[in-house]
Structures are given as structure tokens and as C-alpha cells.
Structure 1
Amino acid sequence: MSPFKTLSLTALLLTTACTAVGPDPLTPPVGAVPAAFAEGQTSLAQPTGTLAFWQGYQDATLSRLIAGGLTNSLDIIAANERIRAAQADVAATQPLAAQVGGDSAISRTRSGGEGMPTATTTSANLSASFVFDLFGGATRARQGAAAAEAAAIAQVEVTRLAFLAEVIAAYADARYYQQALALTRDTIAAREATLSITNEQRSAGGATDFDVAETEALVQTARADLPNFQALFDAQVYRLSTLLNRQAAPLLAEMRNGAPQLRIPTGPGTGVPADLLRNRPDIRSAQADVVASLAAVGVATADMLPSLSLTGTVSDTGGADAWGFGPRLSLPITNQGVLRATRDRRSSEARQADLAWRSQVVAAIEDVQTGQSNLRRARERVAALEQASASYDRVYALARTNFDAGALPLVDLLEQDRQRAAARLAVASARNDAAKAWAVLQIATGAGAAVVQ
């Protein structure tokens, strides 16, 4: 083919090349989402991603631990590192990086033989090429890399939410077990007082050895609960140590200073289901996966079409200079079956990514609605148990007064003691569940995902 025909073919391809092939990497509409959550919603005071919702607990220790953990958590650090890797992929797909190539080489050889003079030959070669993005394959690759970077950024926020959920749960449980220890020690003190009175009554003939033994058994049972609650407390602190990437011993000493159980804040605002599309980082990550998958379809489609490049070489071998320049046309003919199969696979992967994104939206709505229900019922349970516990406290106080006056059998006092102790622990457990349910609902709306210390 003459140079003029080659150049004419090049010009024809350049002028007839269409825009980027394959589907445009834009996230399609997700479809209708409910106008409101099943149990209603309240307005959002601010974008949820930047909301440090845990400050609603008004617990300075928890806020301090979270602030340090957001910086030191190994999971968050690893997620940030994945952003850097994605950014490197974006840089590799930029036009000068992806479409310009070349290399250079210098060699020196010595030759000779018996009776022959030794000769040294130096060769230098320089080559360069530019690949035309005729059908948008490189453009689609850049779009896919940018989408992968967006997904990595969103995954950092997903990791932050998982971190917040685990830290708050571990901290809340640790404070609950401390409360359980305090309540158990109070129960032990009350039972020891009952045992002292029972011993006095036995000495006076007003109680039996059976009465003393039964009271002693209750004291010992309560004492046996202490190591269990202490072990459970320690386990939660060790869990915090791992999550926060901190040494366990100093953290254990800090936590043993004690603090009240987490309060149950009011709210939160949940907005409407459509808000989740921008507030939930897992949904945004799934959206980016759809974009990247659609871009991959475009890359695979472009691979099935001709490619054009301009190449140039310059060489110097033993003082003889040579150069070459011209277009190069590649036609993928013999491997069309493999390329078509690759494109079909990428198309299927794009459809899977779209379905995964839609499923993520549905799951997010379920998370919020379940969180709303759990929090509402948890608050109702706390209120009911607090009333029951207050009633048991009054009953126990009356039983104690009557027992001290000799007007109530010991067996009745001990029964009221058991019921009061169980009711007080039930209230503490319910408060802990409600405090954690509040955080779960906040996280379900995407609150706190973008907070960076």
C-alpha cells in the first residue's frame, strides 16, 4: 500500500470515528422509592454525613475515643490506602499515560577473533507511538477508573460507619456491665444485711438454720455474678482496644474509672427514603460500581474494532543512521469470538452491578424502617420496665420494713429481693439496648459517614 493510500485510510478513520462506543456510564434511575418510611420521618437538621451524632450521648469519654479512633483505626487507614491505589489507576488512564508509549535502548558489542582486530559497535534505538482513541476505549477506561476512585472514597465512609457501629456497641455494653456490677454489689449489700438480721433472729429463736442457709445461698449467688460481669466488661474494653488501635492496659484503667450508662437521646431525624440515595455511602459506592461496569462494556466494545497508531523510530547502529515514521492499523479479525465473549461478560457484569445497586437501595430503606421500629419499641420497653422496677422497689421497701418489724416471713422478703434485683438488671439491659438502637438508626441514615477528625 502506498504512503498516500495509508494516509488516506488514516484520515478516513479519523473523520468517521464515532464517539465512545458502548453504553454511556451513567447510573440509570433507580425507580420509584417510597415517599415516606413506614413509621414516618422527621426532617434532617443538616447533611447526615457530617453529623457527629454520637455527641448526642453527651458522653465525653465516648466522644474522645471516637475522635482518636477515626484517625488511628487500621481499617480506616487501609480504606484510605485503597483510595490512593484508585487514584494511581486514574493517573495511569490519562491521555499522555495511556495513549503515548515508547522506549529507548543503547547497546554496545565487541567482536573479533584470532588474528583479527577487535571492533566495538554501539547501537542506539528510540521509538515512540501515539494510539488514537478512535472508538473511545481509552475514554471509557478513564471513566471506569474515575468511577472506581469514587467507589473507593465511598467505601472509606462505609468503613467509618462500621467502625462507629462497633465502637458505640462495645462502649455501651461495657458501661452496661459496669452498671450490672454496681447493681449486683448493691444487691449483695442488701442480702448481707438480711443475713445479719436472720442470724440475730436465729440466736433469739425467731429463725431456723434453714432460713440462714437460704439467705446465705442468695448472697453467694449474687457474689458469683460479679466475676461474670467483670469478664464481660473486660472483653468489651479489649474489643475497644482493637477497634481504636490502642494498648489495652491504659484503656482498661481509663474505663474502670466508671461512667453512667449511655443516655437515650431524642430523635433522630431520618428524612425521606430518597435522602438515602445521597446520604448512604454504600449506595453511592454501588452507584460507582455501576458506572465502572458500564465503562468496562465500552472498553470491551472498542477492543473489537480497528485501532490506529502513529509510530516513529530513530536508530544509530555503528554510525549508520536510520529513521521511520507512519501509521499502523490493527484489525482484530481472528480473535473476534474471544473479544465478543469478553464484551458479553462485561455486559452481564454491568447488569449485575445495576441489580446490586437497586438491592442496596431496598436494603437501606429496610434498615431505616427496622431501625425506627426497634428504637420505638425499645423506648416503650424501657418505660414499662422502669415503672415495674419502681413498683418492685416500693414492694421491697415495704417488705423490708415489715420483716424488720417481725410482721413478714423471711421467704417473702427473699422473693421480693430476687424480683427487685431482676427488675433492676432488666431496666439496665433495656436502656442499653435502646441506646444502641438509637445509634443503629442514625447509622442507617448515613449519619457520621463523612466526619473526619
Structure 2
Amino acid sequence: MISMALKLRQGASHLCLLSVGLALSACVAVGPDPYGEPQIQLANTFVDSKGTSAGNVAVNSFWTEYHDNTLDNLVSRGLAQNLDIIAAKERINAAEADLRGLSPLSSQLFGNTNVARQRGGSDGGPTYTNTTSALGASFVFDLFGGAQRARQGGRARYLSAETQVETTRLAWLAELIAAYSDARYNQQALTLTRSTIKGREGTLQIAQDKLEVGTGNAYDVAQAEALLQTAKADLPVFEAQFNAQVFRIATLLNEPSGPLLGKLQLGAPPLRIPAGPGTGVPADLLRNRPDVLSAQLNLSAAVAEVGVATADLLPSISLTGQVTDISSATSWSFGPQLSLPIFNQGLLRATRDRRASEAKQAEIAWRQSVSSAVEDVQTAQSNLRRYKQRVATLDQAANSYTKAYELALENYQAGSLDLLNLLDADRSRIAAQLSAAAARNDAAKAWSVLQISIGTGANAPSV
């Protein structure tokens, strides 16, 4: 740096005139303007969807469509207590503090005081105290908009921190709803298994009665007993899976698991599969998906850094003043300082080129986030449609197997069907019922995944 300092001993009016003149000489901010909304080519509609915008779905509390009061209560508590969400909100405070530290006019205030006791003369004269105080200030003018670009970048990072909270909310909602749905499915599986155990106990009793009257045999009794014990062995598996999901929910809520386990053990129906709403159009993702918005804001911040690095290549002017008090004498000085970055141009240009490359990388990351968001929606939409079809088919299969089992039981009691065929019908019935329940659980979770993939609930209030 080559600096030129002019020390002027003039009145306060001269200082004000010089400050105004420097401010009026400021140039437009250098470097590219941060993006408001970068452009990207998107399809008019999703595959197998109508071309109708979904609007601002980010404010919709989609989980209420399940019509499950317990789930609503869990979401309400969790949104206020989850540690991941709290940590994400704290990052907003950090970004806000960084933003407050950026100013269009960089300033610095400094001062010091020195106190020394001295003895006059070599013959041990009187001792006196010598006090020196100095107070100074320096103001750097934003001639080429470097500080302005820094504030634009800080603002973008602050807004990005806000969208990251919304991204964290959606990820948390996905986990909570999946865990709750799995817990209710395992409860339904327990109910089906207990019903199966009751039915197989009846089958065993029939086999034993036939053995006693001489129309049956011990082999049939042993088979009936084995199938009964197999059903009983399934109970601990479903119970363990239910408990694991409740423990997961407790962690997501940042609550003790004991009271929650007792509450959910009371039971409730599995989650229903809500209808709609539509997926909207791909362009909706640019305003509703918080991760896409975050990537866009990161791009704006990166572009602003290019402006900061470009401004560093250019001259800067600062006003520096100092007031010094030595014992009873007071002096002051004031002067502008011109800084010309000549000998470090290579390093500064390399920094600017790096910032330009980082901005390009941020643009690529934004485009990737948009493409991934579109893929998420299309995959979730396809899964939900196919899962619903599977539910309908498996429900029909479960009904058919139940009827077949009932007929087989009647024929076995009447003696026109052997036990082996009855047990086969029983196994097919329970397998079909569990498969239908699992498919319904998958579809209920897929509906939630679809809503989250289009950004629904990112900024919704809790129930």
C-alpha cells in the first residue's frame, strides 16, 4: 500500500465540508449485482399432473389432514422443543449478529492513556507526574460499494439461515410422522396377531376334541399347537418395534419416553391416507421449497463476495483524526488517507477470481437443488399413486383370504376338510392382512413425503 496523509489544522466546518465532498464522490457498487431470482428452464407440469399452481403451500399444516389429534399434539410440542430446530434458530441469531457488524461506513475508535512519574534533574529534584492521553477515530468511505456488497451478502446469509430452519422443520416432520405411522402400524399388527392367536386356539381345541372322540389324530394336534406358538412368537417382535418407534418419537420431541409410551400404548387407529392436495407445478418449488430458497440465497451471498473482492482492487479513502493531551497541552490532527493497492494486485486478483469461481459453484448447486426438488416430487407422486393401488389390491386379497379361511373352518368342523388345508388358509389369511396393513402404512407415509417434497408445512404454525 502507498499512503498519502495530509494533516490539516483547520476548524470543524472544514472537516464537515470535506466529509460531504468525499461522500458525494462515491461510485456505484462494483461487481455483479446479487441475484434476486436466477433463471432456470422448468417443465410446465409434473409427469401425470395437471398444470395448476398449488400456491403458497408452505403455510399449510398438512399433518392435520390425517385427522389424528394425538399426532397434532405431538407436532405442536415438537416444533417448540426439538433440539435440531432450536439449534437452527440459534444460527439465525448468529447470522443477524454478523449482519449488524457490517456497516456502509467502516469506522474505528481508539484511545490510550499513559501515566508516568518522573524525577527532575540528576541531583534528585522534585518528582512530578506526566500524563499523556490520546483519542482517535478512523472512517473509511465506501467509494466503490465494497461495504454495500458485504451487507448484501450478510443479508443473504441471514435469510438463508431462516430458510434452513424451515428445512430442518420439514426433515423433523418427515421423521416424526414416519415414526408415528410405524408405531400405529405395529399396534395394528399386534391386534391382528392377537386375533390370529385366538383363532388358532380355537382350531387347536377342535383338533383336541376330535382326537378325544377318535376322529382326529395326534399329528393334527401337534401341527395346530406349532402354528399357535408361531403366532405367539410374533408378539414380542411387534412390541419391540412399537417401543422403538415410541422411543424415537420421544427423542424427536426432546421428552422422556416413559409418559409417552404409556400414552401411545392406549392405542389408536392407523393413519388414514388423505386425499390431495395437488402437487402444483415445478415453478412452485422455487418459492415453496426452503432448501431451494437457501441455495438461491447462498448464490446471492457468493455473488456479493465477488463485489467485495473487486472493490478491494480499487483505491480507498479514509479520514483519520486524533486528539492528544500531554499534561496541560492539547493538540489534534486530522487528515484524509488515500490507499492504493499496487504491490498486492496479484493476490487481490487471485482472491477475486476465486470468489467468482465460488459464485459459479453456488449457481451450479442451486440448479442441482432445483433438479433434485423436481425429482423428489415426481418420485413421491409416483410412489403414492402406486402404493394406493397396492392398498386397494391387498385389501381385496385380505377379504378373499378371510372368506376362504371361514369356509375352510366350517368344512374342517364338518369333517369334509383336513387340518392341513385349514392351516394353509389360516396362514394365507394372516399374511394377507399384515401385508394390507403394511401397504396402508406405506401409503400414509408416502402422502406425507409428497407434501414435504413440494414444501408444504415449511412455514406453517403448529396446531
The TM-score normalised by the length of structure 2 is 0.93
Contact preservation (8 Å) 2:96, 2:158: yes
2:19, 2:262 → 1: CA distance? Answer: 75
1:381 counterpart residue number: 390
Q: 2:404 aligns with which of 385, 395, 401?
A: 395
1:83, 1:114 → 2: CA distance? Answer: 67
SS in 2 for 1:322: strand
2:11 counterpart residue number: none
2:234 counterpart residue number: 225
TM-fit CA distance, 1:41: 3.5
1:19 counterpart residue number: 28
Deviations 1:348-400 (A, max 9, x none): 11000001101111111111111110000000000000000000010001001
TM-fit CA distance, 1:334: 1.9
1:330 counterpart residue number: 339
Contact preservation (8 Å) 1:42, 1:269: no
Map 1:104-143; keep pairs closer than 5 Å: 104-112=111-119, 115-143=124-152
SS in 1 for 2:129: strand
Deviations 1:289-319 (A, max 9, x none): 0100000000111111111100110010222
1:182, 1:121 → 2: CA distance? Answer: 92
Contact preservation (8 Å) 1:69, 1:244: yes
Change (3 A) 1:160 1:114: farther
Gaps of 5+ in 2: 9-14
TM-fit CA distance, 1:18: 2.9
Q: 1:352 aligns with which of 358, 361, 371?
A: 361
TM-fit CA distance, 1:14: 6.3
Map 1:290-369; keep pairs closer than 5 Å: 290-369=299-378
1:110, 1:255 → 2: CA distance? Answer: 79
Contact preservation (8 Å) 2:55, 2:284: no
1:60 counterpart residue number: 69
Q: 1:101 aligns with which of 83, 94, 108?
A: 108
2:295, 2:239 → 1: CA distance? Answer: 42
1:407, 1:52 → 2: CA distance? Answer: 57
Contact preservation (8 Å) 1:10, 1:308: no
SS in 2 for 1:124: strand
2:159, 2:123 → 1: CA distance? Answer: 68
Deviations 1:28-67 (A, max 9, x none): 6332100000111475665211100001100000001001
2:337, 2:385 → 1: CA distance? Answer: 70
Contact preservation (8 Å) 1:122, 1:318: yes
Counterpart code for 1:201:
K
Counterpart code for 1:100:
S
2:74, 2:123 → 1: CA distance? Answer: 81
1:197 counterpart residue number: 206
Gaps of 5+ in 1: none
Q: 1:158 aligns with which of 167, 181, 184?
A: 167
Counterpart code for 1:185:
R
Deviations 1:378-426 (A, max 9, x none): 0000000000000001000100111111111000000000000000000
Contact preservation (8 Å) 2:5, 2:337: no
Counterpart code for 1:428:
A
Change (3 A) 1:164 1:11: closer
Change (3 A) 1:44 1:55: farther
Are residues 1:431 and 2:440 paired?
Answer: yes
2:48 counterpart residue number: 39
The TM-score normalised by the length of structure 1 is 0.95
SS in 1 for 2:460: coil
Counterpart code for 2:373:
A
1:251 counterpart residue number: 260
Counterpart code for 2:408:
A
SS in 1 for 2:278: coil
Counterpart code for 1:104:
G
Counterpart code for 2:290:
P
1:4, 1:171 → 2: CA distance? Answer: 73
2:12 counterpart residue number: none
Change (3 A) 1:115 1:3: closer
TM-fit CA distance, 1:68: 0.7
